[in-house]
A and B are shown apart, each in its own frame.
Chain A
Amino acid sequence: MSLLQEEREIILSNEFVDTFDFAEVTEFVKNASKDLFISHRFKNSDKMLVQPRGGFPTYKKQFALNEFFVEANVDVLPLTIDSNTRLNDYATASKMLRLSEENDVDMLNGYPLVNHGYRTTRKMITHFNKPVSLRHGTPDARLLIETAIASGIFEIEGGPITYLLPYSKNFPLDKAFLYWKYVERVCANYSELNEPINRESFGPLTATLVPPAITIVIQLLEMLLSLEEGVKSFSVSFSQTGSMNQDIVMGAVIKKMARYYAEQINCGDADIHLVYHQWMGAFPMNKDYAEQLINMSTVIASMVGADKIITKTREEAAGIPTKEANAKTVANTQYTLRILNGLPTIVDEEEEEILTLEVKAIMEAVFNDPADTLWRKVFNSIKNGIIDVPFSPHIINHNEMITIRDAKKNIRIIKRGNVPIPDRCYEYEKAQCDLTKDTTSIVNDIVHDIGIMQ
Chain B
Amino acid sequence: MKVVTGVVGNDIHVVANRLIDLSLRARGFEVFNLGVNTYLEEFFDAVVETGADVLLISSLNGEAEGWSREVKPLKAKYKNLDNLIMMIGGNLVVGSGDAEQIVPKYKNYGFDLVCHQIDLNTGLDWLEELIEKRNLK
Contact = CB atoms under 8 A, between A and B. Distances in A.
A102 interface: no
State the 5 A-B residue pairs at the shortest beta-carbon distance, nearest first: A439-B26, A393-B14, A169-B37, A393-B36, A443-B23
Interface string B5-36: 00000001011011101110110000000011
A440 B121 contact: yes
B94 interface: no
A171 to B, nearest CB: 11
A447 interface: yes
Interface of B: 12, 14-15, 17-19, 21-23, 25-26, 35-37, 120-121
Given A169-B37, A438-B26, 16 more contacts: A167-B12, A169-B12, A208-B15, A391-B15, A393-B14, A402-B22, A439-B22, A439-B26, A443-B19, A443-B23, A443-B120, A444-B121, A446-B19, A446-B22, A447-B19, A447-B120
Contacts of B17: 393
A169 B19 contact: no
A303 interface: no
Contacts of B26: 438-440, 443
15 contacts: A167-B12, A169-B36, A391-B18, A392-B14, A393-B12, A402-B22, A439-B22, A439-B25, A440-B121, A443-B22, A443-B26, A444-B121, A446-B19, A446-B22, A447-B120
A208 B17 CA distance: 13
Interface string A380-396: 00000000001111010
Interface SS, B side: helix
Nearest to B37: A169
Interface string A188-212: 0000000000000000001010000
B17 to A, nearest CB: 8
Interface string A423-447: 0000000000000001110011011
A393 B10 CA distance: 12
Contacts of B12: 167, 169, 393
B127 to A, nearest CB: 14
B45 to A, nearest CB: 16
B117 to A, nearest CB: 14
Contacts of B22: 402, 439, 443, 446
Interface SS, A side: loop
A444 B120 CA distance: 9
Contacts of A402: 22
Contacts of A446: 19, 22
A276 B15 CA distance: 24
A117 B25 CA distance: 51
Nearest to A167: B12
A257 interface: no
Contacts of A440: 23, 26, 121
A399 interface: yes
B37 to A, nearest CB: 5
A392 B37 CA distance: 13
A134 B36 CA distance: 28
A393 B14 CA distance: 6
Given A391-B15, A393-B12, A399-B18, A439 B35 contact: no
A280 interface: no
B93 to A, nearest CB: 19
A169 B35 contact: yes
A439 B29 CA distance: 13
A320 interface: no
Given A440-B23, A443-B23, A395 B121 contact: no
A317 interface: no
Nearest to B26: A439
A450 interface: yes
B128 to A, nearest CB: 12
A451 to B, nearest CB: 10
Given A169-B37, A444-B121, A439 B15 contact: no
Contacts of A399: 18, 21
Contact of B35 (A208, A393, A444, A450): A393
Interface in A173-194: none
B42 to A, nearest CB: 12
A450 B16 CA distance: 11
A248 B120 CA distance: 35
A141 to B, nearest CB: 19
Contacts of A438: 26
Contacts of A391: 14-15, 18
A439 B18 contact: no
Most A CB within 10 A of own CB, among B12, B14, B21, B121:
B14
Contacts of A390: 18
Nearest to B16: A447
Contacts of B23: 439-440, 443
Interface string A281-310: 000000000000000000000000000000
B15 A450 contact: yes
A399 B35 CA distance: 11
A403 to B, nearest CB: 11
